[in-house]
């Protein structure tokens, strides 16, 4: 584990799970805004061609000329593409063009390293960089895990929700072997969690036991507030700051800020 003394550069947190709809994007936006509200300098990176993170921060992807794609294929420096959002976080946005980037990158040298190298240009500007991964285990997720210091796995505790976790951990194993030996897995974050159901608790226990993963506390409760927030282009941390969902994300953010 890194200490404050030995650490150089920002913590880079990849939020990944190849399953869609597990609250990756919600987690990146909410933790990022919560960290910024505590005074941290935060950059969020949208690596999903659906550009939900970009959209949820009030930026219309269709209006953008530049995106993270231009950084990954090497034509733009990261400073030229970063936007300042209303939520006090900076954003390296995505556009739909990112959909072709996996294919473009496939034939490019250093594809897994390109995000890591690009982010080094802004290493002095940020305390935390949060990476919103696409719902796949392709090149973009490999690039995110290569650039990351830490991995957080959001998980909805329903039946079979954990089938993909083994596959994700196989990818982590390969990333550690070939591109990023220091990648640290923080653990799973239960999202849309209903702790009143025995089922959700049982699924969570099964996952942590089978894979030896930590559970990050507190779990994020299931609430419709999260579905409503992106419609305003503002996060729940702003629109419903005292809601229990916002409080849970703030608590998780505080734990991450305090961790080394």
Question: Residues interacting with ligand ADP, by CB under 6 A?
Answer: 20-26, 52, 135, 191-192, 220, 222-223, 226-227, 245
Shortest CB 52 distance to ligand ADP, Å:
5
Nearest to Mg ion of 24, 116 (CB atom):
24
Write each residue from 123 to 162 as x if it is in contact with Mg ion (CB under 5 A), else as -, in one continuous string. ----------------------------------------
- Write out the two tokens for 206: 């099964």
Shortest CB 223 distance to ligand ADP, Å:
5
Shortest CB 247 distance to ligand ADP, Å:
12
Strand-pairing partners, residue 189, are 154
Q: Which residues contact 95 (CB under 8 A, 6 or more apart)?
A: 49, 51, 54, 61, 62, 64, 67, 69
Shortest CB 112 distance to ligand ADP, Å:
22
Contact 71, 247 (CB under 8 A): no
- With CB under 5 A as the contact rule, which of the stretches 52-60, 70-78, 150-158, 220-228 interacts with Mg ion? 52-60
Q: How far apart are CA 10 and CA 101, in angstroms?
A: 26
SS (H, E, C) 178-214: HCCCCCEEEEEEEECECCCCHHHHHHHHHHHHHHCCC
Contact 159, 189 (CB under 8 A): no
Write each residue from 202 to 231 as x if it is in contact with Mg ion (CB under 5 A), else as -, in one continuous string. ------------------------------
Q: Residue 248: in which H helix or E strand, if any?
A: helix 244-258
Nearest to ligand ADP of 122, 222 (CB atom):
222
The interface partner of residue 245, options being Mg ion, ligand ADP, none and the CB cut-off 5 to 8 Å by kind, is ligand ADP
Write each residue from 3 to 42 as x if it is in contact with Mg ion (CB under 5 A), else as -, in one continuous string. ---------------------xx-----------------
CA distances, 249 to each of 31, 122, 170 (Å) = 6, 26, 28
Looking at residue 97, the DSSP 8-state letter turns out to be G
The interface partner of residue 21, options being ligand ADP, Mg ion, none and the CB cut-off 5 to 8 Å by kind, is ligand ADP
Q: How far apart are CA 177 and CA 157, in angstroms?
A: 30
The interface partner of residue 39, options being Mg ion, ligand ADP, none and the CB cut-off 5 to 8 Å by kind, is none
What are the residues binding Mg ion (CB under 5 A)? Answer: 24-25, 48, 52
């Amino acid at each position: 584990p890194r200490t404050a003394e030995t650490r150089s550069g920002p913590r880079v947190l990849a939020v990944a799970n190849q399953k869609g709809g597990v609250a990756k994007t919600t987690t990146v936006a909410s933790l990022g805004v919560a960290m910024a509200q505590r005074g941290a300098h935060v950059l969020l990176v949208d690596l999903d061609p659906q550009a939900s993170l970009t959209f949820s921060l009030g930026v219309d992807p269709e209006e953008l000329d530049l995106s993270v794609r231009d950084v990954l294929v090497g034509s733009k420096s990261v400073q030229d593409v970063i936007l300042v959002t209303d939520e006090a976080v900076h954003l390296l946005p995505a556009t739909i063009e990112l959909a072709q980037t996996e294919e473009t990158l496939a034939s490019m040298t250093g594809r897994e390293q390109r995000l890591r190298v690009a982010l080094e240009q802004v290493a002095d500007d940020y305390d935390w960089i949060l990476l919103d991964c696409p719902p796949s285990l392709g090149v973009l997720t490999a690039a995110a895990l290569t650039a990351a210091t830490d991995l957080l796995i959001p998980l909805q505790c329903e039946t079979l929700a954990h089938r993909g976790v083994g596959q994700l951990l196989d990818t982590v194993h390969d990333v550690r072997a070939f591109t990023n030996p220091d990648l640290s897995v923080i653990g799973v974050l239960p999202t849309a969690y209903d702790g009143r159901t025995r089922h959700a608790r049982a699924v969570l226990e099964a996952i942590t036991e089978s894979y030896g993963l930590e559970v990050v506390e507190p779990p994020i409760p299931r609430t419709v507030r999260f579905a409503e927030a992106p419609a305003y282009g503002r996060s729940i941390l702003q629109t419903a700051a005292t809601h229990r969902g916002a409080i849970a994300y703030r608590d998780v953010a505080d734990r991450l800020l305090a961790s080394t």
